[in-house]
Amino acid sequence: MDLTAGKELQNGKYLINHVLHQGRFGITLQGTLTQSQRPVILKTLNPHLQASAQFLQLKQQFNEQVHYFKRCQHPGLEQLLDTFEADDLPFAVVDYTVGQSLAELIKTSGVLPEEAAIRYIQQVGSALTVLHQQGLIHRNVSPSAIICPGSSEITVLVNVELVPPFAEPGQTMTPMAGAYAAIEQYHTHHSLSPATDIYSLAGTLYFLLTGHAPIAAPLRHQSPLIAPRQLRPYLSTTVETAIIQGLELNPKKRPAELAAWLSLLTMSEASPMAPAISMAAHSNSQVDCNPQRLPVANGRVAYSPQPDQVKVSDFSSQPQYPAPMLSSSPSKRFSRALITTIATAGAIGVGTGLALRFAVTTTGPGTSIFHSEQAFPPLDNWPGEIVPTNPPSAYSAPPAPVVRQESPSVERVNSAPVMRPRSAEPSAEVAPTPSPTSASSPNPVEPAIPSAPPTVPNKIAPEPVYAPPSAPPMLEPEPPPPPQNVPPQPIPN
């Protein structure tokens, strides 16, 4: 049977648009309900199995899976709409969920806080519990299989695997089971159990919190799993313990029931809400964050989930791991706190200074609580203050010339000098009596004293210069007059 785009099924009731995913045992198609133009998902067996001797057995098991799936009614689980058979192939029609997958959400918005990631996982775990009660195993739990509808806060788990496990003769390994697949999904002789979905759900939580898919199970023997707290140190130890227990390679070491594993998350203490870190630049991530986008009515975009696959090249002996760029070291956190403290202190200091500056300008000094008015005494009351004196307005005459006087005093007797000893010197100075002759005629010997030059007033008088008191002037004896035939008188002893 040729399942290509444009082919009609069940007498034109359904129209195939294109193939979403094609595996070795099953195929998933995107179609349309022609009567209402409603988008739907069509699931069936791979047509090449019709040539296999076990096709009838596979067909019977597929119908049984669909029968039990029809009993699963949960708002967080995709719903079965119809079943039919065309060209000997069984078909199951499920509703097409419109929204954004968690893989796309992490790619565009960054990793989730711990509380938000646990809330999503608990919703998915509730839907998985309904499947396990009917004896079904999802087998495709991954971030791209969890859809967040735009009109609801409840996530929807899609891409339930209805094709039963099948092993061809001589086959022991199932290649490309996916990065979120448990180790028993790679081996055809191992039976599946709820612990298989627990492994995938724990890997999904690992991705939501770290932004990286867990290392594929076949590679875990060569490269150990990176602990979540190595990528994000602020995660709680309880959540890390739950993830590590859910990702145990040995299914017997995992919790046997999904409720037991979910109880480990409820005991988790609330961790600090970390900011979302964009993962757009991490192109080396092992998870496929690009689900198929399908245009639907009203211009909305739908995301059709497809199982995450790990390429054969990813199973090399030397896997490349992305560098942990999501965590912030304690030194960086300390640097941020120090910078914040310095900026806050600087802002407070600048604000206080401006407030004081404007308070002084508007209200004046002494009117603010930060200012106290100070009173000072007048300038003339200051101790040690020198009162300035006004300089003279005119130029003063120079001091009189110093007249030298000898030690012995001289008296004139009848116009003749008389010398007396110092002991007989009178107590008071006696001015010499000028003679009539000297008064009537000038002394030819005595020099004339020139008159003082006229004083010229200066506009700016010089400052008075302090001069120490000088010694008393020395009187110089006058020269004797010319002789006038008067006999000299003897000097008494």
pLDDT of residue 140: 93
Q: How far apart are CA 253 and CA 488, in angstroms?
A: 161
pLDDT of residue 455: 56
Alpha-carbon Rg for the chain in angstroms: 60
* Cβ atoms of residues 93 and 42 within 8 Å: yes
| pTM for the whole structure | 0.56
Degrees (nearest 5) of the Cα angle 225, 231, 232? 130
- Residue 315: CB atoms within 10 Å: 14
Degrees (nearest 5) of the Cα angle 273, 276, 278? 165
* Cβ atoms of residues 74 and 136 within 8 Å: no
* Cβ atoms of residues 201 and 125 within 8 Å: yes
From residue 5, how far is each of 15, 180, 345, 406 by CA, in Å? 8, 30, 68, 151
pLDDT of residue 369: 55
The three-state DSSP-derived secondary structure of the chain is CCCCCCCEECCCCEEEEEEEEECCCEEEEEEEECCCCEEEEEEEECHHHHHCCCHHHHHHHHHHHHHHHHCCCCCCECCEEEEEEECCEEEEEEECCCCEEHHHHHHHHCCCCHHHHHHHHHHHHHHHHHHHHCCCCCCCCCHHHEEECCCCCCCEECCCCCCCCCCCCCCCECCCCCCCCCHHHCECCCCCCHHHHHHHHHHHHHHHHHCCCCCCHHHCCCCCCCCHHHHCCCCCHHHHHHHHHHCCCCHHHCCCCHHHHHHHHHCCCCCCCCCCCCCCCCCCCCCCCCCEEEECHHHCEEEECCCCCCCHHHHCCCCCCCCCCCCCCHHHHHHHHHHHHHHHHHHHHHHHHHHHHHHHHHHCCCCCCCCCCCCCCCHHHCCCCCCCCCCCCCCCCCCCCCCCCCCCCEEEECCEEEECCCCCCCCCCCCCCCCHHHHHCCCCCCCCCCCCCCCCCCCCCCCCCCCCCCCCCCCCCCCCCCCCCCCCCCCCC
From residue 396, how far is each of 356, 403, 466 by CA, in Å? 58, 21, 14
pLDDT of residue 326: 40
From residue 254, how far is each of 23, 39, 193, 247, 432 by CA, in Å? 28, 39, 11, 7, 147
Q: Which CATH number fits domain 8-165+173-314: 3.30.300.30, 1.10.510.10, 3.40.50.1820, 3.40.1190.10?
A: 1.10.510.10
Degrees (nearest 5) of the Cα angle 132, 213, 202? 30
pLDDT of residue 165: 73
pLDDT of residue 272: 42
pLDDT of residue 480: 67
* Cβ atoms of residues 37 and 28 within 8 Å: no
Sequential pLDDT tens for the chain (493 residues):
788 888 999 999 999 999 998 888 899 999 999 999 999 999 999 998 888 888 999 999 999 999 999 999 999 999 999 999 999 999 999 999 999 999 999 999 999 999 999 999 999 999 999 999 999 999 999 999 999 988 677 899 999 999 877 656 555 555 556 889 999 998 877 789 999 999 999 999 999 999 999 999 999 988 899 999 999 999 999 999 999 999 999 999 999 999 999 999 986 544 444 443 333 333 333 333 333 333 333 333 333 333 333 333 333 333 333 333 344 455 566 678 888 889 898 889 888 887 777 765 555 555 555 555 556 566 555 565 555 555 555 555 556 555 555 554 444 544 455 555 554 444 444 445 554 444 444 454 455 555 555 555 555 555 665 556 665 666 666 666 666 665 666 666 5
Q: Which residues are within 8 A (CB) of 454 and not within 5 positions of it... i.e. 6 or more apart?
A: none
Q: How far apart are CA 274 and CA 111, in angstroms?
A: 9
pLDDT of residue 297: 33
Q: Residue ranges per domain, the chain?
A: 8-165+173-314
